[in-house]
Structure 1
Amino acid sequence: MAKQNLGIPELLLLVISLGCTFILLVNSQNMNSTTNSTDNPNITTVEPSMTSDQPTTDEPTTDTAGGETTSVPEPVDPQQQTTPTRPEEMSIEYSTIQANTDIGPCTCDLTGNACDVNCCCDSDCSADDISTFSFCNNQDLSNEDRVCFSKETIYNINNDEVTTETVGGLFCIYTDNYEDRNYYTVPDTVDSIDTFDELVTEYGSYNFAKQSETNETFGDYYKYGDKIYTLFEGVKGIALGYLGLPALLVTNACTDNNPARYLVDENTECVRTVTDLATECQTLPSLSSYSYYNEIKIVAVPAYIRDMFVNVTDYNLTTVFPVTTDAPKVNASTQTPSTTPSLYSGEEFVPIRLAQPSFCENLLDIRTSCNISSFQTPTYNNVTETCSNVVTEVLYTITHNATDGIVDAEVLFVLSTVNAESFPLLQKFSTSFVKFDEEDVFARSGNPGYVIGEPLIAGNLTSYEESVDEGTEEVLITYAISLSEDRYNRMTVVTATASGTCSSDPDSRIPVVFGEDIRSGCLISVSFSDVTEACTAINAIAKQALAGEMPQSMYVAMFGNSDVGIVGDWVPVIIQEPVAEPTSIVAGQCDNVILSLSIEILYANIGSLANPQAKIVGVKYTFIPGKLTYQCVGPYCQAGTENLRQKYEIASSVAFLDVSTYPDAVLAEIPPWKVELPNDFFYPLSTASILHVHILTIMLLLMVNLLCT
């Protein structure tokens, strides 16, 4: 018989066949050993869970005759006992879970003796019940995907059915002879502290216990993100603390333990509540401007605090230093010596100045300028039942000079007159940092492309210069973009007050920042008569609340650093109004009323693929109309309730759409090879005789020929 050589494919198939045969033999032996150990279902094998040197616990013993497992307690040293004792006559019988079993055939059946809605596998559900279900919550899972039959899965996403189908590949499982790999191993019950701690150590744990306070460490100067330290002069001495910036924590209620951070411009807002305004108006510290600046000095650099702690071994942010004095000074009014704390009066501690002018608001949220020479204590008026001089906004402006630290600080307050209906009261806090001796500073939203999280730059197209051409006598008008000084108030969406109604304060609206899709809404109140007779007025109110103080000719900067003098670098905002006018054909119903505003922003990345720069190419405002119907529900559906008001939501949404055009994948031609030899490459050949030159040339050609073949 002729000898036949095997090719690569035949060798590969032979190796695979031998490997598969070996795996099947090993698995068959494992299955046989497992089967032999489980032939008798009444025999329970107990693995020792603890070594002899560990504390003794109840060891289960096996009764092979009765087929039941009982626990016989062994004597335990009372001093080493860490688990509760059990009565000797008590027999613990654990629920047995069969290995390699899917124990959750109907996981949606969560109510005993009752039919769970949309749970088609619930045995308590009748055929009529299942007919009312819109879908089934049953989990139909396959243990292994690589089987030798097709599997089809249907997903339902927003009512659009998406189908995925998987089939067996080149290798698939036809007969599964090792079923254990598809199931978890049934764990043993943990009944001792030592075993419990072993598992916690092995698999890790989380502890939310409050960390013990440690001493503060102070560097030579502030760095970005450091807490800003302050000193407060009290009766017993000078207390060390930090500048607070109240913020919300878990709920929207204010927490005053949030510190302001160095060089971090922050804006926070939270809610204050009162139970009795007449009593708490003048006693609640969070409502008074006194709490935010008076008798507080900022530490210029942390090194000053570190020097103060030279002789202090135990300190924290509540340490009080005794008042030390300088040489006695004569008081001009009493002609008696007076002392002042030298620590508190040093130039290295910066007082917080009052910014002028501050602002005052009345009950109608009308803001006016008001000069505040010193802190204003909230005052309650028993006649009007109002509390005046209540702090609603606190704005810190801190001037720094690099490593020299903080050189100046001022605070601007907004004081409001409120009543009991104003609560829960929204308070706003902010910190801004300014570099010493820097002038004409302005913030960009990118350079040049927009940066995610920075506010969009939007303004109004205006003419700022008119001139006459001497030759043609034509009037020349120069256009530019006028911007609001507040960069977070240039393009905004509606926001709600603490009670959910639409806020009329333009400074409280939510800014539109690049790359962040948002949705915000608020409530408007209308009555049955309004819906029937005043659809046009409702439409105007809703549009004003959604759009805010939008300019007539609104433009948006293409780049984050667009020049206001170059109008070509700005795109006009396209506004799409409803076609039909709001009307009321049916009583209690308004048609074509604006209920939402959709802001769509198109942007494209340009420049290098490794360093893309975002450019805005289009902005569109779409006012979406709808049907506003006065609902006949409960008390609103009774005679004489025509003037009872219902609340309806209006909403704004912002969507950023990436319209970038990526380069086409075009394969360029292979460049030609350019080989150049140096001038002296054949130098040895040029110095030999002609005969030698011929011989060497022939040898060189032969070598090149051999190398190229």
Structure 2
Amino acid sequence: MAKVLALLVVLLFCWAESKNLVFQPSFIFAAGPRITTFLLGNITDVSLNVRPVFPSNVTGTVDPPSCVTEETQWIVTKELFGLNALRVHLHLNKSLHLCGENETDCCPKPLCVLESLQVSACVGNTVQASLLIQAQIYAHLISTNPGSDRGTVIPNQVYEPLGSCPCDLTSGACDIRCCCDKDCSTEELKLFQAHCHKGPFGGEPPPAPDYHCSAQSEDSPDWFPFLCVVSPLENNPYLGLFYHGDTIKPKPRPSFQMPILSAPVFNIYRQGNPIFTLDDQLFTIPQMAIGHCVYNAPVAFLENFSFKCVNLLRSCPTTFPLQTFPSDLSMKVNNGQGGDVTVEVRDETVEDLKDFLSNAVVRSDQVEECESVTLALDYTFYWKGNQITEIVLTRSVGTFTFKGRVALTTRYSAEFLTGEDTSESDLKNPAASGMRGYQVGRPVIAGIESTQTNAFSVQRTSINLWKPVHDGLCLTAKKQPLLFAENSTSGCHLLVSLQNLTQCDLLRDTVASLQADLITATYVGNTGNPNSESEADWVKIRFLNSSNSSGDANGSCSGIPAHIHIHFWSYETRMTEGNGQRNIHDIKVWSTLSTWTLDCGGGDVSPCADPTEAQLFPITSSVTFIDIPAHRGPPKTRFQINFTEYDCDRNDVCWPQMFFPLTKYYTGEPHSQSLAKGLILVFFFLAASVLGTPWRQLRQAWNGSFL
């Protein structure tokens, strides 16, 4: 797809200034039933005609292009591709399989289509461009027996002897390089007779191994007969794989000993996994991908999205997704637990179309009216655990009129909400993560402590980051919620003049007020679904003060809180249904102070000369998530760190393990019991040494020396 787009960009660049029409390419040799080309230039009021042409027997040339439509076996469709390009598709309206008995729509011979086509682009009755196509298409040769049924069935060696040709893998066909295959003819064997499979896999007896006495040759050393192995040649590494034995018929078993088939296993949904329909097809919704709208993009579990697609219309749409029907949208979806859930379609009519249409004409009599056009498809998935409990689709339709062409903007979205009920309270709180741990990409839940009651109570809110739009100024910038486990940096610009730099206190307060609007909360939920009245479910935000040691100078201000840092510490608590649950342990917020001075370099001295001339200064915010590692046992001692040669985890030889069961490395039984048994063994060894023959001889020699 990327190569096609790149080629089209080059072609559009070459013909952007041209008012004439041209096909690219202008000649196509087709070997398949589908043909695609591009028509470039002024495509207004262009019609396409296809007709078969026949080269002259005298000159070899074809008839000149014509706007007369003739009946062919090709179907032509066109698709608008930009402002000055059409993508033209030709599809063969004929089956490509060979004819059987009493069949008509088929190919009577292998060369099914052999013809020349001429595609003409006409404006009125005048030919503007033409395309010549040479089609040479062969029929699809489909075997009556599927390939999976043509494999040679190798019986169980316990019941049936294995054949003498193991390389015969295909039944009824010649296997290449298998010289023992009886399906190969003499002519086929001549093609690969010098490259047959060697050894028993090619049907030959296994060669004698080098260590066998029968393998002695003139180059064998003199000591070979003393060290060679004498054994029958049947004793080879392939013994048991290829042999001839008696046929043993299996005995019938009673039915109660038959294995019980287990219930079908369904892949449960996890975050990021695709959603499937009941017939194991991907559940798709139109989405934006690489700058283009894809109408069959899969939907991932627990991944929200919202996209807008712009469609240039010259006539009323008749295909998906601009024309939809509730019966097509109300499909059955696999709920992730072996069951299904049906998409509930709710229609709403849009009266005000100003957010969807542009350049629409409604005042002329010669206008085209489009009824029940699908303007938006908004899916809401309700889930619990790893299961989808309900799917609600809100289909927005509208009727509009236009003249010429119009730009129609459509919206497609998917939102995952937790809980079994579909009350309005759930719809107003889509930020809840839905389980004890946070989900990646969901907004961090924050709150402001309520002072109306004596008991602890938190009113939910969100922590925001800058989302600049249009000119990027802080006065017009919007805010976006902070998402869990996603590090990001954003900001906006503030216009500051020389007059503002003479009022540093006011400037610092203004910047601090802008940064304070991002974080109005005082608490953050440590879980993905905290209780508003439980203080244990909330973590207090730590705001750190930043000191300013430098003073203000003429024409500059110091101590400006231009950057705000937000650090989260999170940790993994437990596993729920195969997913790790992460909680927030701590949050710290502080500012980095900057000094703002007007830049008058480069010859532009107007900001420093004119007190009202302003420059742009950045105000930024960043968020960082830090993972707290899980506890991995007691820390290593200084001896284990310095003397790594005694570390059993980093060496193949571990000296302390050689003294088990006296050491703690023996884990077969409690250390106290193994130590006691080890000491008893030492005692018996010492007693045997004292009372044994060596000690008695020493005692006799000692006594004899004194005598």
TM-score normalised by the shorter chain: which range applies?
Answer: 0.3 to 0.5
Per the normalisation by structure 1, the TM-score is 0.37
Query: Larger relative contact order (C-alpha < 8 A, sep ≥ 6)?
Result: 1
- Choose between structure 1 and 2: higher strand proportion: 2
